[in-house]
């Protein structure tokens, strides 16, 4: 199993998030003259991160209104996932189906022993069994590479930074006299830029993980072209049947194998997923190298 320097990438990205959090905390302390707020937001960050980590599977499953499926109800999914789990030497995850026609799939859970894999009814109709196997291999590698932990913590920290930005915006407007606010323009700039920076870092974490899961998933299944074919179908299928961009689904969108929203609703910079054309090209190159 190839890890793509995941530890180094994660450390660098989390270092950037923590540095941003400290910078924003310093701005609050300077603006209010009280370090209490820094500790308050730090505690909120720890609490949010812990909650997201322990409940990531429940939150995503609930957002997609998914239901558990038995082997009798979904024999193909159970057969594929059991085979791939045994090949990887990992426990069998819980399996769910979401009652939506939007074609997509995602994995969640804090570790392989507490993982869940979910397919939508739309993707089960859209893909053949070979393509579905490629998708499930991709999702299982997210679990095995501990991507769920990384993305959940990144999302939690980004949310805390966004909350701090909102607090700064409020303080810059209603924080008292000009003498009590050393630099209101700097505070406004921080309030606007901090959530933006946190979101960009979070997107970077999510996008690099998709490339890694594509490569490792294709290696697990031994069939890169199956996943490439599935991604090609999903690119068109998600545009024909997108999910509504509700807050709950937006919070879960980074877990899905394909961006579930309309392309015009998400710019390239803010996309949680790399371009499909790039992902497909990489998989096709990997197939050529196998020959």
The catalytic site residues sit at: 139
| Phi, psi for 160 (deg, rounded to 5) | -65, -45
Q: What is the secondary structure of 178-211 as a DSSP string?
A: GGG-S-HHHHHHHHHHHHHHHHHHHHHHHHHHHH
Question: SS3 string of 58-113?
Answer: HHHHHHCCCEECCCCCCHHHHHHHHHHHHHHCCCCCEEEEECCCCCCEEEECCCHH
Angle subtended at Cα 155 by Cα 12 and Cα 149, rounded to the nearest 5 degrees:
70
Burial category of 90 from C-beta neighbours within 10 Å (exposed 0-12, middle 13-18, buried 19 and up): middle
User: What distance in Å separates the CA atoms of residue 249 and residue 189, rounded to the nearest whole number?
Assistant: 29
- Biggest CA–CA distance in the chain, Å, is 71
- DSSP class of residue 256 equals B
H/E run at residue 43: helix 36-63
- Helices 6-32 and 184-221: crossing angle in degrees, nearest 10, is 160
- Give the number of residues written for the chain: 291
Task: With CA atoms as reference, report the closest residue to 59 among 255, 260, 259, 252.
Answer: 252
Q: What is the distance of C-alpha 99 from the center of its chain?
A: 21
**C-alpha dihedral, 53 to 274 to 231 to 62, nearest 10°:** 30
């Amino acid at each position: 199993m190839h890890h793509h320097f995941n530890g180094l990438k994660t450390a660098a990205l989390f270092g950037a998030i923590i540095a941003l959090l400290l910078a924003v905390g310093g701005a609050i302390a300077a603006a209010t003259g009280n370090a209490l707020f820094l500790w308050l937001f730090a505690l909120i960050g720890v609490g949010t991160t812990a909650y997201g980590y322990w409940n990531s599977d429940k939150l995503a499953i609930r957002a997609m209104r998914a239901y558990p499926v038995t082997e009798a109800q979904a024999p193909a999914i159970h057969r594929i996932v059991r085979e791939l789990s045994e090949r990887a030497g990992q426990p069998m995850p819980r399996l769910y189906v979401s009652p939506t026609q939007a074609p997509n799939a995602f994995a969640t859970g804090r570790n392989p022993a507490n993982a869940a894999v979910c397919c939508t009814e739309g993707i089960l109709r859209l893909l053949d069994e070979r393509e579905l196997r490629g998708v499930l291999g991709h999702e299982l590698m997210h679990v095995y590479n501990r991507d769920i932990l990384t993305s959940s913590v990144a999302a939690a920290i980004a949310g805390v930074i966004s909350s701090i930005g909102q607090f700064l915006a409020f303080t810059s407007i209603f924080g008292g006299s000009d003498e009590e606010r050393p630099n209101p323009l700097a505070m406004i700039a921080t309030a606007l830029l901090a959530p933006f920076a946190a979101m960009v870092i979070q997107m970077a974490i999510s996008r690099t993980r998709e490339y890694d899961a594509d490569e490792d998933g294709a290696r697990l299944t031994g069939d890169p072209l199956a996943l490439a074919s599935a991604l090609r179908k999903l690119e068109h299928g998600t545009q024909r049947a997108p999910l509504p961009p509700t807050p709950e689904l937006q919070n879960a969108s980074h877990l899905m194998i394909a961006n579930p929203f309309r392309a015009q609703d998400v710019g390239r910079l803010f996309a949680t997923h790399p371009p499909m054309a790039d992902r497909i090209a990489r998989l096709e190159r990997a197939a050529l190298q196998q020959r």
